């Protein structure tokens, strides 16, 4: 995982101005072992910066995602962000639905899709959701799966 300084370095490399708020955001994500929803971040930031709007916080999250310092996953209860895995190269994730632990997958299924060459691909997403070994040992209602 990236640390605070690595996050800030990557942001300034890409020409982003490092404001006090962005420094606080970088520190928050570097020190959080898991996902944060925009609301979580807004509540945390709102305690330190009065009058901060949700839009400003959300815009910063989006910029940090676009710069590759944050990863964004859409869970059933909404979008969440976490610090990017240090793995620099293109990768995907498998995510535990119970504890939200995330593991990188270094295989990319994109070349195996039947997207025609005439379609200009800009980006793609591929995420695998399930239960990690620890969470499988605990009884979970969704665990069995398959028989709806």
Q: Does 115 bind Zn ion (CB under 5 A)?
A: no
Q: Does 97 bind Zn ion (CB under 5 A)?
A: no
Q: Does 52 bind Zn ion (CB under 5 A)?
A: no
Q: Which residues make beta-bridge pairs with 116? A: none
Q: Does 98 bind Zn ion (CB under 5 A)?
A: yes
Residue 47 CA to residue 19 CA, distance in Å, equals 17
- Residue 140: CB partners within 8 Å, gap ≥ 6? 98, 131
Least distance from Zn ion to the Cβ atom of residue 36, Å: 15
- Residue 49: CB partners within 8 Å, gap ≥ 6? 21, 24
108 annotated as ligand-binding: no
- Which residues are annotated binding-site positions for Zn(2+)? 96, 99, 132, 135
Query: Which residues of this chain interact with Zn ion, rule CB under 5 A?
Result: 85, 96, 98-99, 108, 110, 132, 135
């Amino acid at each position: 995982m990236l640390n605070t300084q690595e996050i800030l370095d990557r942001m300034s490399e890409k020409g982003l101005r490092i404001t006090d708020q962005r420094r606080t955001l970088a520190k928050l994500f570097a020190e959080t072992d898991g996902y944060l929803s925009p609301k979580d971040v807004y509540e945390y930031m709102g305690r330190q910066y009065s009058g901060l709007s949700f839009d400003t916080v959300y815009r910063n999250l989006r910029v940090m995602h676009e710069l590759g310092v944050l990863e964004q996953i859409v869970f059933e209860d909404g979008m969440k962000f976490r610090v990017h895995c240090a793995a620099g190269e293109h990768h995907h994730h498998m995510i535990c639905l119970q504890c939200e632990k995330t593991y990188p997958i270094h295989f990319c299924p994109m070349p195996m899709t039947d997207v025609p060459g005439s379609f200009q691909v800009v980006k793609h997403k591929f995420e695998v959701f399930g239960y990690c070994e620890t969470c499988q040992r605990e009884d979970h209602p969704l665990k069995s799966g398959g028989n709806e």
